[in-house]
Amino acid sequence: MKFVVTGAGGYIGRHVSKLLESQGHEVVHATRRAVPNAAWVHFDLEDSAPVALPAGTDAVLHLAAQTTSGDSDESLRVQVRAARALLGEARRVGARFVFVSSQTARADAPTLYGRTKWLIEQEVLGNAGTVVRPGQVYGGEAGGLFGTLLTLVERCPVLPAFLPAPRVQPVHVDDLAQALGSVLVRSDLGSRVLRIGAHESLAFTAFLRAIAHHRVRRARAFIPVPSVLVAFARTMSFGRIAPIERLSSLFRLPLMATQADLEVLGLHLRPLEHGMTRSGRASRRELLAESAATLRYVLGERPGNALTRRHVRALEQLRQGRPVGLPGWAVGMPFLMPLLESTGAVELQWRLDCACALAEATPQGARRFLGARAASQPLGAALGLGAALAREAFWRTVRPVFAILPQRRKTL
């Protein structure tokens, strides 16, 4: 499909363009300056001349925004006008319209940024367009507010812990890109607002600590700073200093109920500790431990190293390298895995199937599962069958008891 992306050179824009291109879509960059080796149309928020969308455009993704505030009312007027023109042009060529807004979007938002986003949202929704409100975007190649925070954490040995702490709902930039990709290809969403961010909010201090711990890999001290100081600094600067404006947009963030919208898109957000790493994935060590455990469980003996690495590679290619979240005891004692097996544990089932298929496609697996070309052993087979069924009966008895024990449940 053909997509026009405004702000394709920005933090989110770069990630989403890369994803769309990797999925075989055609991406036309709508930016101020031409992009080498890419389809391009001229687009400038401040340009009153309307943009010309190429014929055959399936959808427009509007990401471009002014984040540094110039003359406040002028900036708002310019951005709304640009969005309106773009909407008209999209309607003319029959393209769907997707607008990336913000968690701060509200009619009475404390910042100009939030009010601008809200006004554009109204235009978009009135024209059958789709609005995406991301939470706190982080990870990947640094940029945007995440880039600012990353620089802050890298440079300052001591960081502020605002009291009371604002709460954020993080979303990895590649997960957001995936969400936008599925919104773009779908024609059934229409006029609606989709909220994309972690279901459970997180204290902003914990978010900074995660940057320090997983990304910068340095210990950082936090000193309490009353939140009112930020409001004071903002008043003193008359809302003219961009970093303070951005920071203050974090306060009084309305919490978003994201679960239903994530389900609409079939999206599972990666955990923060994985997303914060430079690769954006869990450590390979964690995956290796899980793969070794699942393989050991289905084989009934220690899997070969090449087989374990193959299972990890399959998970990296087909499951974005996400661990399933096996509890420590199951990793350490794989024979206890039946306690976790249930029809509801869909992802664990997938990984066990994957383990069965890969394990049997090895000489080790052929020996375990296929049986050597030995003499006929009716008694051995009958005993083996009986033992296997007795094992199943045992676990079926134990599983309901285990299920009522208090425990920390992870998603499997």
Partner 1 sequence: MSVPYDVIIIGSGPAGVSAAFPLVEAGLRVAMLDGGAAAGVAPPQGDFLALREADPQQWTWMIGRDFHALRMRDAVSPKLRVPTQAFAFSGFADANRIVAEDFVGVGSLASGGLSNAWGCGVARFSGSEGRFPFALSDLDASYDAVARRMGISGGQADDLSDYFGLDAFAEPPLPMDGAHQALWRGYQGARARVRAHGVRIGRSRVAVLSRDRGARLACNLSGNCLFGCSRGAMYSAAHDLALLRRKTGFSWKPACVVHRFTRQGPHWVVHARSSDGSAVTFEAPRLIVAAGTLASTRLVAQALDHRAELKLQSSPTAAFLLWLPARLGAPRETGFGLGQLSFTVGLKDGCTAFGSTFATTGLPLSEFARHLPLGRAVGMKVLRHLLSSCVVGNLFLPGDLCDASVRLGAGGELVIRGGYAPAVPALLSQARRQLTGAWRALGAWVLPGSFRSGPPGSDIHYIGTLPMTENPAKGQTSPAGEVQGLPEVYVVDGACMPALPEKSHTLTLMANADRIGRLIAGSIQ
Is residue 332 close enough to count as binding partner 1 by CB under 8 A? no
**In the block, which residue shows the tokens 């706190």?**
136
Q: Are 4 and 95 in contact (CB under 8 A)?
A: yes
Is residue 37 close enough to count as binding partner 1 by CB under 8 A? no
Which of 8/359 has CB closer to partner 1?
Answer: 359
Is residue 362 close enough to count as binding partner 1 by CB under 8 A? yes
Between CA 289 and CA 298 the distance in angstroms is 15
Give the three-class secondary structure for 31. strand
Is residue 346 close enough to count as binding partner 1 by CB under 8 A? no
Amino acid type, 368: R
Is residue 26 close enough to count as binding partner 1 by CB under 8 A? no
Is residue 55 close enough to count as binding partner 1 by CB under 8 A? no
Is residue 372 close enough to count as binding partner 1 by CB under 8 A? yes
Is residue 369 close enough to count as binding partner 1 by CB under 8 A? yes
Is residue 223 close enough to count as binding partner 1 by CB under 8 A? no
Residue 137, Ramachandran bin (φ over 0: left; ψ between -120 and 50: alpha; else beta): beta
Is residue 333 close enough to count as binding partner 1 by CB under 8 A? no
Pair type for strands 39-42 and 96-100 = unpaired
Is residue 382 close enough to count as binding partner 1 by CB under 8 A? yes
**In the block, which residue shows the tokens 């431990």?**
289
285 to 325, 364, 384: CA distances (angstroms): 13, 23, 35
The secondary element (H helix, E strand) that includes residue 15 is helix 11-22
Is residue 378 close enough to count as binding partner 1 by CB under 8 A? yes
Residue 372 CB neighbours (<10 A): 7
Give the three-class secondary structure for 221. strand
Which one of residues 23, 332, 380, 410 is an interface residue with partner 1 (CB under 8 A)? 380
Query: What's the min distance (Å) between Cβ of 309 and partner 1?
Result: 12
Is residue 397 close enough to count as binding partner 1 by CB under 8 A? no
Query: What's the min distance (Å) between Cβ of 273 and partner 1?
Result: 26
Between CA 334 and CA 323 the distance in angstroms is 15
Which residues, 6 or more positions from 103, have their beta carbon under 8 angstroms from its beta carbon? 133, 134, 135, 136, 169, 195, 197, 253, 254, 256
Residue 18, Ramachandran bin (φ over 0: left; ψ between -120 and 50: alpha; else beta): alpha
Binding segment for partner 1 among 171-179, 251-259, 323-331, 358-366 (CB under 8 A)?
358-366
Between CA 293 and CA 393 the distance in angstroms is 22
Which one of residues 163, 233, 346, 388 is an interface residue with partner 1 (CB under 8 A)? 388
Which one of residues 58, 154, 341, 347 is an interface residue with partner 1 (CB under 8 A)? 341
Binding segment for partner 1 among 34-42, 216-224, 263-271, 337-345 (CB under 8 A)?
337-345
Query: What's the min distance (Å) between Cβ of 330 and partner 1?
Result: 13
Between CA 331 and CA 171 the distance in angstroms is 28
Which of 23/122 has CB closer to partner 1?
Answer: 23
Binding segment for partner 1 among 11-19, 123-131, 245-253, 313-321 (CB under 8 A)?
313-321
Is residue 357 close enough to count as binding partner 1 by CB under 8 A? yes
| Residues engaged in binding partner 1 (CB under 8 A) | 297-298, 300, 306, 310, 313-314, 317-318, 337-338, 341, 349-350, 352-358, 360-363, 366-382, 384-385, 387-389, 391-392, 395
